[in-house]
Amino acid sequence: MSVLTLPSTREEAWRWSDLSGLEALSAAHATGVAADLDSHWIGDGPRLLFVDGRLDAGRSRPGPVTVGTVDAASTHPLARLAGGDGWTLAVHKDGATPPGAIEIVHVATGGASHVPARIVMAEDAQASIVETYVGDGWANRLTRIELGRSARLMRAIRLVQGSGFTSLRDEAVLGAGASLVTTILGAGAGGSRLDAFVTLDGAGAYAEHGGALLARDSQRHDAAVVVRHAEPEGTSRQLWRAVADDQATTSMAARVEVARDAQKTDGEQSLRGLMLKRTATVNLKPELEIFADDVKCAHGATVGELDAQALFYMTSRGITPDRARALLTQAFIADALSRIGDEPVRDAFQAAAEAWLEERI
Amino acid sequence: MLKIENLHADVDGKAILKGLSLTINPGEIHAIMGPNGAGKSTLSYVLAGRPGYEVTDGSVTFQGEDLLDKEPHERAAAGVFLGFQYPVEIPGVSNVQFLREALNAQRRLRGEEPLSGGDFLKRARAQADALGLSMDMLKRPVNVGFSGGEKKRNEMVQMGIIDPTLAILDETDSGLDIDALRTVGHGINTIMRKPDKAVLLITHYQRLLDYVKPDFVHVLAAGRIVRTGGADLALELEREGYGAIAA
């Protein structure tokens, strides 16, 4: 790539972003050598390994997923870079992916990779996808999601990269009665920008988008999510937990838009931040834009520190201060991870969060 | 076992304890009584090492070691247990996990092997049964949604599981009805009335002492122990009030 045009922090939607490292990551060369990845697979279902954005066919068994040119494009400042080859999952009417989840591991080995994906689910189809980001480099992804009537998609995304940057852009359109549940865990050491635009485009659709982002050192996580209720009787939940330690910054901007016709919308945002040190920063921005008059939209945003009384109570019972902090932080993010329906996946995500806390605190 | 000498302590720069001395030997149960604001809870927090409670003078040795030199978790591992007047709620952490972590952290610090999940649950079940708390409650988050009485019973269950050498029980009787008081009293006797253990009962009222008979009763007033006696002293206090005795 010759010249990278990136949004500036002067733009409201990017004010908390730190894209300063992307220029260098774009210019860097990937080594292409992916270390041992076995520990990242959770189940025995279909799996795809992308090394620097290219499928490693020898270590993949794509099942229902096809790899090739993807019919997806975006005008999003980062996602527009994600053209060319990627992966597509199409699930036909009443179809379901194999039991367990489809697992996709993205390894970056130092450079930048831009990969589009498309998930198309017909009426009453069901699927569960787990994506894991590891390695060092810039992984930039665009995921287009189209859910037909009453289709159900569960997504769980785990960021555990050692360094670099992960930028994800989801653009999802949900039909009547469709359900999309996306849970993101940031428990690596790289930066991130997590963008999503979810449109509830049929009556009675259901969308959840949230997760837990843990940041330390000078790391920065930045989530910007818009859920748009375009049709009536939709339900949306945005439950985010932001944790920041050291000089790190975790930012979350979550927006709910309710169109004039989207009566009986039930929207809820719960944004909570936890600062493990006073040098850390948590930015939370809940936004509501409501044009319908018969809706229920709740939002809450709070930032705090660990409860000193609880810490003393725990240490007075013999738990070390470090462990007490880890347990309380784990408890703080538990709500967000509990949204993952598949138990082995939830366990794996909890273990990743615990590993972060153990290493850190 | 515990020797407190000339203890002075400040909270937020205000002197609360002003020269408190007290010696507790193995096998003894001591009750400290006193009016509100006398420094009873401060004493318990100072002994457990709560941040913000600053010792300005004096010494506390426990089993021959300087207790004040230790961190709160080290004091616990050394055998000191504080039963809280207001047990803290910890959403998201189950009692079972909390207690197993606590017990095994103590064992690790003492150089002992951690207790297996099975052995721990056996121990937890026995203590919960003895104190009338269901295992279901132990699986719930620590003290969340517990009534005042249940929280106090939970403190005793924790004490039973941890099996300390010295229990400092800060107003364990407050918020208990008569039945719960009897259960808790019985728990204290069962767990702690042993030749190698000791109890420091901090209480405002005499009624717990109907169930746990103290060997010594001390009156704490204005940061010092002003009078010491046997179990009878508690009855006298109940009859005549603190005013007459602490004066």
**pLDDT tens-digit series, residues A221-273:** 999 999 999 999 999 999 999 999 999 999 999 999 999 999 999 999 999 99
A:B CB pairs within 8 Å: 76
In three-state secondary structure terms, B192 is: helix
More confident residue, A100 or B65: B65
The one-digit pLDDT tens for each residue of chain B (247 residues) are 999 999 999 999 999 999 999 999 999 999 999 888 889 999 999 999 999 999 999 999 999 999 999 999 999 999 999 999 999 999 989 999 999 999 999 999 999 999 999 999 999 999 999 888 899 999 999 999 999 889 999 999 999 999 999 999 999 888 888 888 988 899 999 999 999 999 999 998 888 999 999 999 999 999 999 999 999 998 888 888 887 776 5
Q: Which residues of B touch A313 (CB under 8 A)?
A: 84, 87-88, 90
Which member of A309, A321, A327 has the closest CB to residue B73? A321
Q: How far apart are CA B213 and CA B199, in angstroms?
A: 11
pLDDT the model gives residue A84 = 83
pLDDT for residue A1 is more than 70: no
pLDDT the model gives residue A152 = 97
- Please report the domains of chain B, with CATH numbers, ordered by start residue: 2-180+197-246 (3.40.50.300)
Interchain contact A246–B (C-beta under 8 A): no
Q: Which residues of B touch A312 (CB under 8 A)?
A: 48, 50-51, 72, 88
pLDDT the model gives residue B204 = 83
Percent of chain A with pLDDT over 90: 87
Q: Which amino acid is at A2?
A: S
One-character DSSP codes across B30-89: EEEE--TTSSHHHHHHHHHT-TTEEEEEEEEEETTEEGGGS-HHHHHHHTEEEE-SSPPP
Interchain contact A312–B (C-beta under 8 A): yes
Q: What is the pLDDT of residues A16-38, one digit of tens each?
A: 998 989 999 998 888 888 777 88
Q: Which residues of A touch B90 (CB under 8 A)?
A: 310, 313-314, 328, 331
Tokens of A160: 């555990």
**In whole angstroms, how far apart are CA A269 and each of A89, A255, A266?**
29, 8, 10
Residues 81-100 of B with CB under 8 A from A: 82, 84, 87-93, 97-99
- In this prediction, residue A303 has a pLDDT band, given cuts at 50, 70 and 90, of very high
User: Would the CB atoms of A334 and B92 count as touching at under 8 Å?
Assistant: yes
Which member of A312, A328, A335 has the closest CB to residue B72? A312
Comparing alpha-carbon positions, the chain A residue that sits nearest to B99 is A317
pLDDT the model gives residue B151 = 92
Which member of B49, B102, B141 has the closest CB to residue A317? B102
pLDDT the model gives residue B247 = 55
Interchain contact B75–A (C-beta under 8 A): yes
Q: How far apart are CA B153 and CA B128, in angstroms?
A: 9
Q: Which residues of A touch B167 (CB under 8 A)?
A: none
Predicted structure pTM score: 0.90
* Residue labelled with tokens 């003290």: B143
pLDDT for residue A2 is more than 70: no
pLDDT the model gives residue B190 = 94
pLDDT the model gives residue A79 = 94
Q: What is the pLDDT of residues A34-57, one digit of tens each?
A: 777 888 999 999 999 999 999 999
Which member of A310, A323, A332 has the closest CB to residue B101? A323
Reference A171, options A54, A259, A250, A75; nearest CA is A75
Q: Which residues of A touch B84 (CB under 8 A)?
A: 313, 316
**Mean pLDDT value across residues A276-290:** 96
Interchain contact A334–B (C-beta under 8 A): yes
**Mean pLDDT value across residues A103-113:** 95
pLDDT for residue A360 is more than 70: no
How many CB atoms are closer than 10 A to CB A38?
6
Interchain contact B124–A (C-beta under 8 A): no
Interface test with B, best of A272, A307, A316, A327 (most B CBs within 10 A): A316
pLDDT the model gives residue B240 = 86
Which member of B73, B87, B88 has the closest CB to residue A319? B73
CA of B240 to nearest chain A CA: how many angstroms apart? 36
**Mean pLDDT value across residues A121-125:** 97
